[in-house]
């Protein structure tokens, strides 16, 4: 759409701010992208947009500076973890904030690292700083491991002398540690330097990547410059582009967001700076480090099976019970307990048997997992994604308009994404309108979902791909059935957890535990009782429930039905395998002690047809027919 923003002269700085610095190359399967961005604070509602940005930019590890989020709160950490796991089950995160007390979720400063995809299988260790200054991940490689350190160094002076700025938080904690020098930036260098020396002592020749918002240039006697000299690091952008400088903070004039890396691998890593507002959030440029995993890690392969392929979740009690039961049965059927015991007690090594047992256990795990019900991840829909992008655009436009800041970069990004560019005078109304539109969309999300699936199915059918269209229709029908069952469970109250019984009302004539006698054969029927009493003693409640259940489930014996009284309860056992049972089936059983009604009942138990029996042999044709009827998810083994 055509912009309604008033025309103004665009300065060379604004043109520079709205363009990439460096070349962002196409990403292939062997390429790793690591990014860092100062979002100027994130909230729980921003995390979904953050993950969408990562997916759009194909980021493997995202560093966050100045999160302004109190991740010491359990609910905040849980929400972040649950939101991220919904998008990617294999994701790994580490967050840092200072240990100062805060009753709200907002706390200035802080950092975070978020890894998704195959790169998570390389994570050997992750951790954080208790002052909220950095987070780190150590990645495995063929040679020495690689340290990814994401930092946020506070400003030279506190932004609010009487507030809770990152500068003030660090001064408080440094004072509690008994430090004489309470300057946060001086202590930042000391602590990071100590951490890097400890890393190098544990991992000789280990590689280092440090990135973040330094609030300084990498020159002279700055913290970053001293770290470069101490640990043989280089400013990556200056290494590749020594003649090019620009600002990375919209209200600044210098490059204060940068990465310093080990000099030995500077030539292997490319760096690119995004334009301002490219992700519709923050007033800092985001940077992207890109390299070939074969050259940096020594290989592009990963060591573990990606957890995104797993369908078993430990919190799913039903699935866990199914998995363990089927796996245990598989181990028993294939004699794995006995074979493992023989192998462990044997004095001679038997590698072939050990490998065979291991392979059989793996097959059992896979088979048991396949039996469990698979869960689908949350679906992405183009409509809601577009609406969320438009909302973020309006938020940023409104913020920058109030601060009388340039919106040129936002306008350029809106044109690239095909979004409507707001007007300065109507941006507040437009923002409210888009919020109502998102709310309305969520209110009708079920019908919107069905409509989206039907459109996709019809689209593929028009292309002649009927198999894909059929699968989409099956997904739609399955989701509708699941929704119907969920409604039924809600109506029946199946989702409500049972509580303990605190009181019990019983007929007035029912005995207590002290007056009850086993010889008593009659209890007043509650359905016919008129006088009641209330019992609150736990011991009496347990007693009354027990005798009620005994009478209820023992009605056949209480009512003296034929098979619970003499002589039939003696001549017939529980499994009905006695000689008398065979005579009853043949219609030849005679006993003068039973009454006429019981004799009539036994006459009707006479066998009228021969019992079915399985054939002793199975033909090859029958076996093949059974194979073709087996479900694909059924896994078995002919051995054992």
Q: Of 113-127, 153-167, 447-461, where does the model show the most confidence?
A: 113-127
Helix (H, G, I), strand (E, B) or coil at 67: coil
The pLDDT-based confidence of 374 (bands split at 50, 70, 90) is: low
Position with higher pLDDT, 632 vs 525? 525
Residue 563 has pLDDT above 50, yes or no: yes
Predicted confidence (pLDDT) at residue 5 exceeds the cutoff of 60: no
DSSP 10: P
Predicted local distance difference test score (pLDDT) of residue 477: 87
Look at residues 112, 68, 73, 118 and name the one whose alpha carbon lies nearest to residue 93.
112
Rg of the chain taking only CA atoms, in angstroms = 36
- The residue-averaged pLDDT of 23-34 equals 88
Identify the pLDDT of residue 292.
92
- The arithmetic mean of pLDDT across residues 435-440, rounded, is 84
> In whole angstroms, what is the distance from residue 571 CA to residue 573 CA?
7
Q: What is the DSSP string of 382-404?
A: HHHHHHHHHHHHHHHHHHHHHTT
Beta strands in 123-256 (DSSP E): 123-128, 134-139, 146-152, 207-213, 233-235
Higher model confidence: residue 2 or residue 219? Answer: 219
For 180, the 3-state DSSP assignment is coil
Q: Please, what are the domains in the chain?
A: 35-296 (3.60.10.10), 312-371 (no CATH), 382-492 (no CATH), 504-553 (no CATH)
Between residues 449 and 284, which one has the greater pLDDT? 284
Mean pLDDT of 190-205: 94
**pLDDT, mean of residues 191-220:** 94
Which range among 8-12, 267-271, 472-476, 590-594 has the greatest average pLDDT? 267-271
pLDDT at 496: 52
Tokens at 466, concatenated: 């009927």
Q: Which residue has the higher pLDDT, 209 or 547?
A: 209
pLDDT at 38: 93
In this predicted structure, what is the pLDDT of residue 7? 46
DSSP class of residue 566 equals: T
Tens digit of each residue's pLDDT (9 = 90 or more) over 73-131: 888 888 888 888 777 778 899 999 999 888 888 899 999 999 988 899 899 999 999 99
> How do residues 321-346 score in pLDDT, each as one tens digit?
888 999 999 999 888 999 998 888 88
Contacts of 233 (CB under 8 A, 6+ apart): 208, 210, 227, 260, 261, 262, 263
Distance from C-alpha of 161 to C-alpha of 509, rounded to nearest angstrom: 77
Most confident of 258-272, 514-528, 529-543: 258-272
Q: What is the mean pLDDT of residues 575-590?
A: 82
Of residues 295 and 375, the one with the higher pLDDT is: 295
């Amino acid at each position: 759409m055509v912009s309604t923003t008033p025309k103004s002269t665009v300065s060379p700085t604004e043109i520079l701010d709205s363009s990439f610095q460096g070349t962002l190359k196409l990403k292939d399967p062997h390429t790793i992208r690591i990014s860092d961005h100062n979002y100027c604070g994130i909230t729980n509602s921003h995390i979904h947009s953050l993950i969408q940005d990562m997916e759009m930019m194909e980021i493997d590890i995202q560093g966050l500076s100045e999160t302004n989020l109190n991740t010491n709160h359990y609910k905040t950490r849980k929400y972040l973890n649950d939101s991220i796991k919904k998008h990617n089950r294999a994701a790994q995160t580490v967050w840092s904030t200072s240990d100062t007390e805060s009753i709200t979720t907002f706390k200035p400063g802080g950092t975070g690292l978020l890894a998704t995809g195959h790169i998570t299988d390389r994570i050997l260790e992750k951790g954080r700083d208790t002052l909220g200054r950095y987070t780190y991940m150590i990645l495995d490689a063929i040679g020495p491991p690689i340290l990814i350190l994401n930092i946020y160094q506070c400003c030279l002076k506190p932004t609010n002398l009487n507030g809770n700025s990152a500068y003030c938080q660090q001064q408080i904690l440094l004072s509690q540690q008994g430090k004489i020098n309470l300057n946060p930036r001086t202590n930042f260098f000391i602590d990071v330097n100590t951490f890097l020396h400890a890393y190098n002592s544990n991992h000789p020749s280990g590689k280092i990547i440090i990135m973040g918002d330094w609030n300084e240039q990498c020159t002279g006697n700055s913290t970053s410059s001293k770290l470069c000299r101490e640990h043989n690091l280089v400013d990556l952008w200056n290494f590749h582009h020594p003649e090019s400088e620009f600002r990375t903070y919209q209200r600044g004039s210098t490059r204060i967001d940068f990465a310093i890396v080990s000099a030995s691998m500077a030539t292997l890593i490319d760096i690119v700076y995004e334009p301002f507002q490219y992700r519709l959030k923050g007033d800092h440029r985001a940077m992207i480090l890109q390299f070939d995993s074969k050259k940096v890690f020594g290989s592009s392969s990963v060591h573990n099976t990606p957890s995104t392929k797993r369908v078993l979740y430990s919190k799913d009690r039903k699935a866990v019970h199914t998995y363990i039961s089927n796996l245990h049965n598989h181990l028993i059927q294939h004699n794995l307990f006995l074979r493992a015991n023989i192998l462990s007690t044997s004095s001679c090594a038997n590698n072939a048997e050990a490998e065979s047992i291991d392979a059989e256990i793996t097959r059992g795990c896979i088979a048991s997992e396949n039996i469990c019900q698979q869960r689908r991840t949350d679906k992405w829909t183009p409509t809601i994604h577009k609406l969320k992008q438009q909302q973020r655009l309006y938020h940023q436009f409104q913020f920058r308009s109030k601060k009388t800041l340039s919106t040129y970069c936002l306008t350029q990004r809106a044109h690239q994404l095909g979004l409507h560019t707001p007007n300065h005078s109507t941006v507040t109304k437009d923002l409210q309108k888009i919020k109502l539109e998102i709310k309305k969309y969520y209110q009708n999300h079920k019908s919107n979902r069905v409509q989206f699936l039907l459109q996709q199915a019809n689209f593929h059918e028009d292309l002649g791909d009927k198999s894909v269209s059929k699968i989409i229709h099956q997904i739609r029908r399955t989701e509708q059935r699941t929704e119907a069952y969920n409604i039924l469970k809600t109506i029946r109250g199946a989702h409500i957890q049972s509580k303990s019984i605190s009181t019990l009302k019983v007929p007035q004539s029912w005995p207590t535990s002290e007056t009850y006698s086993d010889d008593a054969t009659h209890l007043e029927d509650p359905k016919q009782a008129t006088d009641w009493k209330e019992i609150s003693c736990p011991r009496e409640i347990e007693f009354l429930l027990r005798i009620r259940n005994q009478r209820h489930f023992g009605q056949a014996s209480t009512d003296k039905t034929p098979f619970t009284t003499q002589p039939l309860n003696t001549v017939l056992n529980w499994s009905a395998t006695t000689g008398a049972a065979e005579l009853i089936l043949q219609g030849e059983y005679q006993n003068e002690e039973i009454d006429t009604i019981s004799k009539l009942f036994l006459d009707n138990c006479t066998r009228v047809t021969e019992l079915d029996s399985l054939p002793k042999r199975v033909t090859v044709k029958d076996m093949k027919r059974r194979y073709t009827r087996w479900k694909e998810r059924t896994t078995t083994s002919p051995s054992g």
